[in-house]
Structure 1
Amino acid sequence: MNHKNMNQPAATGQKRSRNDAGNKATVVLGAQWGDEGKGKVVDLLATDADVVCRCQGGNNAGHTVVVDGKEYDFHLLPSGIINSKSISLIGNGVVIHLPGLFEEGDKNEKKGLKGWEKRLIVSDRAHIVFDFHQVVDGLQETERQAQEGKNIGTTKKGIGPAYSSKASRTGLRVCDLLGDFKDFSMKFKNLVHQFQSMYPALTVDEYAERLRPMVRDGVYYMYEALHGSPKKILVEGANAALLDIDFGTYPFVTSSNCTVGGACTGLGIPPLNIGDVFGVSKAYTTRVGIGAVGELLQTRGHEVGVTTGRKRRCGWLDLVIVRYAHMINGFTAIALTKLDILDVLDEIKVGVAYKLNGKRIPHFPANMDVLHKVEVEYETFPGWKTDTSAARKWNDLPAKAQNYIRFIENHIGVPIKWVGVGKSRECMIQMF
């Protein structure tokens, strides 16, 4: 990387105009509670991208991509890693479990993912998830269950405890691992001592040399990608808006900012360089966790968490939360996935408002006790009772399905750019 070129404008007295801020990054984010099909949307867009980035979360994410009949599961690797012509970047906002990273890469390599290590860049500022973080994650869930009779439903991948270490300024980063290993070991022992218990021995040293060729200064890499030779940059968000640590259904959330701000803090991208922000929503609502399951939607949609293997709770599409997600993220367009799962229903409902004590409320409640008391107001639509899985353009969809889509679009106030009717990238109908 040529740092000298990056500093040229300042050295020559030139100033970059705010109207000449460099490239714009396209961001793909979940508009519900995750598992919306972001991986498929990213895979579709990544075919034309030069750089595909993960900006937050860890291997608690689960993105499934189907290409040429092969199903790839990604947890840490950006879904765009499938595109052999693009670079994939794991940003500083991601927390990385190194054994999980290489296990994931090797597993997908056996399915046909070739040369992924040569196309992957890892930010040296990214924090490391250790095995003891995962142990602590499980212990904390057990303790919540014992004391409160319920748990948060984390993936037990150590993500929350790793972010806790980061926030307490005792976390260890990739740059620490690749530096003086004696110093790293001392810091590691101090970190373990912070948790005041005995945990598995240090094993990450074996990954250091395999990781070393991938590691770059992510801030400088992104700056060059934005301001150097023109590159198309795609940012892949993990989790979703309603799981955001600040804006989600707290405390039943993840430990990072999975809304649009996470793209800036997790990659070092200035807000001025954020371009299109695409939200992804299923044609119905799901959430992984404990609770009742809409059996038909769960079965037809194969609604099982990629990371956890847990069944997802299913219900009618809730437009209150999708509009709320739009308020936070400023979606420029939406991808509506899994429309085909609704094909067999006689009627379809859509949640359009919340009522509390019989009166509509104009906001999404922050307090979970209040949220549990709200009554959802629905609009009901006739089902189309037609197989849509073979549709490849708008006119192939039944009129009743088109009406359903247009209602969603008009209610949210955001255009729907893609409609998904199957697993593969060929099943995404582009609207405009």
Structure 2
Amino acid sequence: MDNNLNGLLTKWSNQSCRANKVNKELYTRYEVKRGLRDIDGKGVLAGLTRIGEVHAYIISDGKSVPVPGRLSYRGINIEDLVKGFLKDDRYGYEETCFLLLVGHLPDAIELRDFRGLIASNYELPRDFVRDIIMKAPSKDLMNTIARSVLTLFCFDDLADDLSERNVFRQSIQLIANFPLLAIYGYQAYAHYHEKKSFVIHSPRKDLSIAENILYMLRHDNQHTNLEAKLLDLALVLHAEHGGGNNSTFTTHVVSSAYTDIYSVVAAAMGSLKGLRHGGANIKVVEMFDEIKANVDNWEDPEEVTNYVEKLVTKQAYDRTGLVYGIGHAVYSISDPRAIIFKGYVRELAKEKGLDKEFELYNLVEKIAPEVIGKHRKIYKGISANVDFYSGFVYRMLDIPQQLFTPLFAVARISGWCAHILEELANDGKIIRPAYNCVEPKRIYLPLEKR
């Protein structure tokens, strides 16, 4: 692009930015709930769901009072769900998928058959890896997966069939395909962009989804039991988070237009890619790399506090003033996923010889809310969210950073599909909220008078 065109692009983009700015006072005047949330974080009621519940407050004397966070899948407390499959020493993600899709916990026979159904879909269309994944590999795997999902439409003879049975079939296929799309997409990326060997392992039908992820990712196919169990736990904790989170709400919005499941999931992928949503765990890991490089004594609360102060006052890391992994749109006192995760993270850190790094995370988790509260007005409590530890876990599992957000998608595809089925089952209206236009009225000027 020559200098003249560059100049025009700069000029007009600046004008566009000014033309699109809305006076912030107008949001108050028109009582607009920005982000569809009240100032205290309470979401605007936009729908009803039977799939997942995020509970973070109670109403007492007409006021919203924060309480320890609670997450339920189909009415079952996530803590009880996790304790159940861990107590029996089995992998829990597949039965979590069944619970979200079907609506109840499977019995032993149903779980066996459901796992078999998932395993029977552990394959992509013929030549898909060669013709789709290996060609023009993107530098961002979320885009690679989204493109692959849209391409799967072409291989489905019933792609536009919105009947309940067909969409359920497509859901099973996508749940089984997502690990392959993510891992194979990474292998293509690593080969073309990092000049690494291109190695493709076919998944094994006798392994769980968590085991297969590690099996396909690692050249030697090896993993410990604790590694696979912790990855499985991560998948369970990321599988669903109510209807209001950005990507799941996207599935409701797009499904309400009566389009195909592949288009819906691709839209959700675009949402999850964002740094304000699924991309946050990458920022946490990068932020801690900065902390480790700039704090001499990781065990000194004063030194760590000083660096967190620099983060909050925009003097360190990316200078946004954010402490990534701290705070949540809904939770205030605690994120139940982070609490569940933390104990097992400690165990894996010990196995990997990373106890000191875990304690640094633990120290920042304690310090950050106090520092943030000192420097800015907090309308509700803040605490560590699940992203605070998930990136650390993935790094301990030797999972490349490029796969952090795709693994979130591998987990959340089950929740997305459940919500797509729910939107279609209830035959609701197309989702179309109101926007007030605040642009002043102007008359049209002929070209010669402008």
TM-score by length of 2: 0.26
Q: Greater helix percent: which structure?
A: 2
TM-score by length of 1: 0.26
